Every structure is written in C-alpha cells, then in structure tokens.
Structure 1
C-alpha cells in the first residue's frame, strides 16, 4: 500500500510485467465500487502494469489524468502489429485491444502535466462486474470534472491517430461529457501521432497530396494556429489543447474557401490538412463547451453509442442529474430520456431540448424531441431525413440556431408528454401574399410596451 498526503492509500489490485502483457487478458482482483488508477510512473520506470485502488469515496483530493477515447476506431495496417504488442481486459473482449505503445504515450503525456496516476475506463472499471459498472457510470461526470488534465486520444487505443486521419471520437456519446466536464480549456488536450520534422513539412505533404494550391498552404504556414504545443515523444507523438485544434480546423475554413474556391461543401472538411476530428462535430462540441444549455442537447443528438441507454447516461451529469443506472436495461433509451426530462422539470430547468432542431421530424416516441439518431458501435450517428440517411451532425448543423431564452418550464408525465403554461397568441395559416406589416422586432417592442 502507498499512503498519500491526504491520509488515504493506494492499494495494488493488478500487477503484470511488460514482458507478460502482449497477447494477455488482464483481470483485476478488486472490491467493487472503488476508484482505481493506472500507476503511470511504475509503467514507465519499472516496466510494470500496475492498477491501484483508491481508498477514498471522493476524487477531490487526488491528482490524476483522465483519458477520453473511442472503444473501437483506428486499426493497425494489414499484417502489422503494435511494436510492443497489445493486450485485452477481462470482460471487455469486444473492445479494441490496448496497445502498450499507446499506453506509454498516454503516461508520458500525463507526466508532462505533473501527474502519474491515469484513469482509463477499460482498466479502471471491473468490466465483468455489473455492480461496479453501474457505480462507476453514476460517477463518470465526477471522474472527468475532478481530473487534473483530460487526455483525448481520438483514434482509440490500438494506435495513435495522425492529424490527417479521420476519427469517430467526436461522434461517440460518452466523449461529450468527457470534453465538457473538465473546467478550463488548458485541462483538455489532444494526443496525436506526429512523425514529421516540422508542422511545415506536414502541411507541404498534405497540401500536395490533396491538390491544394500554394496560396492556401502558405496561409496555413503563416498562421499562428500550430497544433504542436508539446512534443510527447520526438518524431512519434505530440499534444495540443483541444480548443486550439478546433480553432485551427473550423476557424480556417473561411480561408480555405477563399483560397480554394469551387469545392463541394463536404470537401472543405475532408481535404483540409488537419481532419483528426470531424469538423461539423467539432463545431457542435465547441458550442456545447462554451455555451452549454441547448447546445449540449444539440451536440448529444449528433452522437451514437452501442448501448442506446448510454445516450442518456452519458449526458445526465452535464445537467446535474443522477439516474439510478441499475434500474434501466441497455435498450431503455426512451424511458431514461423521460426520467431525465422529469428530473429537469422538477429542478425548474427550462425545456431547452425543444430547440435542438425544430425543423427535423419529431420522434415517434417523444414528440417534443427530434427523431432519435440510429446508434452504432463503430460508426457515426445517422438520421433519416427527407427520404435519405444523413449524418446526424450534418442534419443538426443544417438547422438554423434558435434562441432558447425564455424556454418554458412545466412537467413531463410518464408517457413523455410535456405540459407547460405560457402566454399564447392565435395563429392562422395565410395562403395569400406575405403580410407586409411590422417586423418581428417591432412586434416585440409593441408587446413590451403593453406589459
């Protein structure tokens, strides 16, 4: 046991030498309903995978890094394996294997921020114990809100994603909470593979490969949006804040259109040199991080999960709600949604979900919400719109932003019907010429003067 300055102890519950890790299935000998961490210093300095159990029930007095990643995403090239091998975890054999190389990079990135303990759900949750899983899910918001730094590994744990590789990280349900819960943009950092000598070399390669003109390449080279904030491993990996990455990706889209006119709209996302996060998803996430409220709902609706109920469990903490996880089945998305809405109304929170995408077709289960995206385990979220299937992030982005100020408060019954009380005005459909009367802003002033 290792005593900490706060009086609590860290107890090892798993120890495996690196030489025994490749091809193995790791299991934990731990008591359910405890916080656990990977000991990064031991992993780096002693070549030992050590998982330790934390004796406290709160995370407020311990320093650690939390890792955000998709369970399944980028794979190794055919007939190739990670240099140091990989391993699995008991109870999570359906997930991608964990590369020892990626785990080493994560521990080094955490060390840059002065922390040695690392929280990774795959290693720190008893994957074959339902009681522990439910306990951890109810505390997932606390895990990411309390961390010293959150390390985003967009490509998953098989291998690091390069800046020019597309990933599904921003399309997965749980990563919304993992990105929003940490307070302060300096706490949220993206770890990526980078083997070029400089960012300029990377840009030159990508611009040539994508057939982009020299003016745009020169603009990017002179831009201050360089994502190489920290070198984690020379000629192998680097790191930058997620906000810097987002500002680079969608902040330079206007310049891309100016210097490279004539492309299809989707090409401005798929041919931009840095595309490690899907740009429409990045926009939705940045608004959710900056503004909250309605934008949390919009970002959540553009995501998917292998378990439908996780679409609600993954956002409840963002609304300061805790649902009894054990009382829901994996397919209980609709019932969990109703319970979340009921909690929000009981807490007198405004019904901002009404403004997610009012022009989209309503859900047949809950008519005050848009039709729910189809969920998938290894892909993005999709919705059926106008006789075609499109990405949910594109469908949400195509909707105009509605102002949610003054959203009503009411009650939601067990069938999902929303009842509220507010001032109303009769409206009739006019099939004739457009009414040439006072503008919307003038009507607001008139009503305000009469109240």
Structure 2
C-alpha cells in the first residue's frame, strides 16, 4: 500500500467471488462508495462455529480486535442495496502501521465522509451487529461525530422482526431489510429520534432503542448537530457533542471535527497530546474564513481553556470515563454544561483573532441593544436564571433594568473584565468584553 492514497474494499469481489480485494486511488473516486462508522472497541462476538474473524497489525506492534467477515459481508450487502460497489473501513483502508499514511488520512477524512453516497453506522463495532435494544459506545467516540454528518447516514443492526414503515405516533421512518431475519438498516436521524422520544414499532410490536446509551444528552446534541436549521445552532451543537465524547489521543478531538467547520489542519503538525494548540488553530481558521465563534455558549457553565480563554475546557478522559473536576469532585460533562436544550447564542457582529495561536478573541459590534430579563417575565429558556434577548453583550446602564445601546470594540484576554450585579442588570467594565454566563453567573477568569 502506497502512503497517501484512498483505498476501498470491492464489494462485488467479496460477495460474488469470496475474494478480498482492496483498490487504491490517488483522489476520491468518481464512482459511488459507502463509508463505515463504528467504534474500534465494540461488542464482543457471540461464540458460534460459523463466525470467521481476522486481525490486523497496528502501530507499536499491537493487534486489532477481531474483525468479522460476516459483518463485512452484511456491510457490503447494505452498500449494494444503494448501488454502491466500494466500501471504506478505516482499519482496513488505512495503513495502521504507517504514521505518515495515518496523518494524511486524518487530514482528508472529512472529505471522504462528506462525499460518500452513504455512511453505514455499525454501532456494535466489527465483531458483530448490535440489536436496537443493546447499548453501545458508538456515540461516545470523537471520530464518529463527523462520520454521522453525511445526509445519507444509515444504522445497520441485527433485526429479526418485520420491516417497512413504522406506525408509532412519536417515531417515524422506514426499516429496510438487508438480510431476511438477520439484519436491517434505518436512517440515523430517525433512529436517534426513536431513542430520544419513543420506541420503534407498530401497534402490536415495540422495540426500545438503546444503541446510543442511556443518557439523553449525547443523543440530543447529535440531533442538533445533524438537524438544526440554523447554521450557528448546528455548529454550537457540534461543539457540545464533541465535549461529550472520548478519543485515544487528545489532538483527535479537534482533528475529528475540523472538517465540519470547513477547516483542514495538517495532522502531522501536532503531537498526539497537542489538543489545545490544535484548538487554537481551529478557532483562528474558523474566524478567518468568516465563521462565527460557535464554541461560545456550547458549554456555558464549564471551565475555560487556559490557552484559548473564550473556549470551554475539554473534559478529562480516563479510559471510557469523561469528566470535569469541579471543587475537587468529578462531574459529568452535561452536569457542568448547563441546560441540554439551550445552546443557541445570537451570532456576534464581528469576531476575529489577531494572530494564529494567540487564543485572543477580538469582538467588534456597533449599537447592539441588549436587555437582561428575569426568566419569569416571558418564560423563555434560561441560563443560570436569566434570558439574554440578544447576543450575550450586556449594558452598562446607570439604572437597574435599563436597556441601552453601546458601541463596543474590545478583546477577551487574560484578566478580561470586571462585572458586578446591580439588581437585574449587569454593569460591565467597558474596557473589555463580557465573558459567557453559566450557573455561577458571569465569569471573571477569561
């Protein structure tokens, strides 16, 4: 295998001739292809005589978990249902023992998923198919976030029941049969909906969906990232979803989402632990391209990064456990992020960073009307008991509750701002810009 090439499994050779054939391309092929999304450490296989597995060498002399030929066969059948003969599976199509090839593939991975005809989600991994009622860790992994973004993303699962259109009131969608009595697939968005609000099924038959785990927060964040109609809301949901996930190497949290924001960083420029450096570069490139600072407000109650003070800090990852340390105690990410339903912040008028890697956010706005209201006054969503009617830039009106227009040109930097509460208003030192609001009120650590 030549480093820096796209590789695909040829499904027809595998299905029709039992031949495992991998082809290489200098660029993404014009022919349609399917890409597989799965967790590397998935469900363990059932101990049955018919199972056939193989393993692949990994970096550092390690060996991959078993890969089931039966699972690959089912994935190829699903691709064939969509008139696709090429299948991409990262463990097979990336040279796992070549750091050069892995970095090149990482830098181009968003494009690969973005251009696929269909993304096939195998939430149980490559050892066996999961059934809808089984819990998996697919939604917990950082890389599966960008893999879930293609419009045509379907979940492949073990299924013995009827197929066809659902007739439940709360859930909609169509279960497409792949192998009779063995497997089926369904659109990811519809399956997320079923996991969040109700079961799959019909009047006489119901199946509870647990594929995405017991916690609704990651499900809702991914639904927002895929389905929200407003770009700023989608992008903020992407940040929120990313902060709920884990990865083996810290830098991968940023490299796994950069493409969603239209940014391509060179993976070889970062050591595996360089998460904050990669985050600062991603923020700089996003703002330089004209995008909004969508990370603001994604986790309003979480701590801030030391190097990019406007960006929420990343949780600690210890194996599969993800947490923040608050007052010496471990807290789950969603416990310090604020409400699971409130992510949206009005776009700021002009936002930039003076230089790459500085981590200093410059915001310029003219005559922005801002009002702080008590939650009970209009029943709108609240952060920390307050609703902000516009962008989170507050007045310095001399009278309590007064709404004023301000001309603002300021920066977020270390030492940031000073703020005090006066009744229902905030008075902000106008030498600097406001931080973001969490359950503890205005921050002074930005």
1:168-179 to 2 correspondence within 5 Å? 168-179=137-148
Quote the offset at 1:248 in angstroms.
1.4
Residue of structure 2 aligned with 1:137, choices 83, 102, 106: 106
Measure, in 2, the Cα distance between the counterparts of 1:110 and 1:165: 24
Rounded to whole Å, the distance in 2 between the matches of 1:388 and 1:334 is 23
Give the Cα separation in 2 of the matches to 1:110 and 1:249: 24
1:22-421 maps to which residues of 2 (within 5 A)?
30-54=1-25, 56-59=26-29, 61-77=30-46, 80=47, 83-91=50-58, 93-180=62-149, 182=150, 184=151, 187-196=152-161, 222-223=168-169, 225=171, 229-252=175-198, 273-278=208-213, 279-291=216-228, 292-376=234-318, 379=320, 381-385=322-326, 387-393=328-334, 395-396=336-337, 398-399=339-340, 401-407=342-348, 408-411=350-353, 413=355, 414-421=357-364
Match of 2:209, SS? Answer: coil
Do the aligned residues in 2 keep the contact of 1:303 with 1:392 (CA within 8 Å)? no
What is the deviation of 1:99? 0.9
Closer, same or farther: CA 310–222 of 1 in aligned 2, 3 Å: closer
Query: 2:43, 2:127 within 8 Å by CA — same for their partners in 1?
Result: yes
Is the contact made by 1:110 and 1:118 (CA closer than 8 Å) also made in structure 2?
yes
CA distance change for structure 1 residues 69 and 376 in 2, over 3 Å: closer, same or farther? farther
- Say whether the 8 Å CA contact 1:85–1:99 is kept in structure 2: yes
| Structure 1 CA distance for aligned equivalents of residues 5 and 305 of structure 2 | 38
Q: Which whole-Å CA distance do the structure 2 matches of 1:304 and 1:149 have between them?
A: 25
Tell me by how many angstroms 1:397 deviates. 6.4
Q: Distance in 2 between matches of 1:394 and 1:149?
A: 35
Deviations 1:390-438 (A, max 9, x none): 443565463551432232502165342323334699x9xxxxx99x9xx
Shift of residue 82, structure 1, vs aligned partner: 7.1
Map Cα deviations across residues 216-266 of structure 1 (whole Å, 9 max, x no partner): xxxx9744736661111122111100111112121339xxxxxxxxxxxxx
- Deviation track 1:83-135 (CA, whole Å, cap 9, x = no partner) reads 33211122264542211111111111111111111011111111111221111
Instruction: Kindly indicate whether the alpha-carbon contact (under 8 Å) linking 1:36 and 1:53 is maintained by their aligned counterparts in 2.
Output: yes
**Higher RCO (Cα < 8 Å, 6 or more apart):** 1
Contact kept, 8 Å, 1:280 with 1:397, in 2: the verdict is: no
Structure 1, 355-364 or 167-176: larger mean CA deviation = 355-364
Mark the CA change 1:194 to 1:391 in structure 2 (over 3 Å): closer, same or farther: farther
Relative to structure 1, is the Cα distance of residues 83 and 398 closer, same or farther in structure 2, using a 3 angstrom cutoff?
Answer: farther
Q: Deviations over 1:168-219 (max 9, x none)?
A: 1111111111111x1x3xx1100011234679xxxxxxxxxxxxxxxxxxxx
Q: In the aligned structure 1, how far is the partner of 2:269 from the partner of 2:82?
A: 39
Query: Are residues 229 and 441 of structure 1, via their aligned partners in 2, closer, same or farther at CA, if it must alter by over 3 Å?
Result: closer
CA distance in 1, matches of 2:106, 2:136: 24
Q: Assess if the C-alpha contact under 8 Å between 1:82 and 1:159 holds in 2.
A: no
* Structure with the largest fraction of strand: 2
Distance 2:298 2:247 in 1: 19
Tell me what 1:7 maps to: none
CA distance in 1, matches of 2:341, 2:190: 25
Q: Measured at CA, do residues 104 and 331 of structure 1 come closer, stay the same or move farther in structure 2, by a change above 3 Å?
A: same
Flag structure 1 segments of 5+ consecutive residues without an equivalent: 1-29, 200-219, 254-271, 428-432
Distance in 2 (CA, whole Å) between partners of 1:293 and 1:307 is: 23
Length, aligned pairs only: 369
Distance 2:347 2:143 in 1: 29
User: What is the CA-CA distance between 1:381 and the residue it aligns to?
Assistant: 3.2
* 3-state secondary structure, aligned to 2:295: helix
Q: Is contact 1:82-1:99 (8 Å) kept?
A: no
Q: Retained in 1: the 8 A contact 2:301–2:336? A: no
Once residues 278 and 14 of structure 2 are traced to their aligned partners in structure 1, the CA distance between those partners, rounded to angstroms, is 39
Q: What is the match of residue 6 of structure 1? A: none
Please give the secondary structure, in 2, of the residue aligned with 1:67: strand
Which secondary structure state, in structure 1, belongs to the residue aligned with residue 14 of structure 2?
Answer: helix
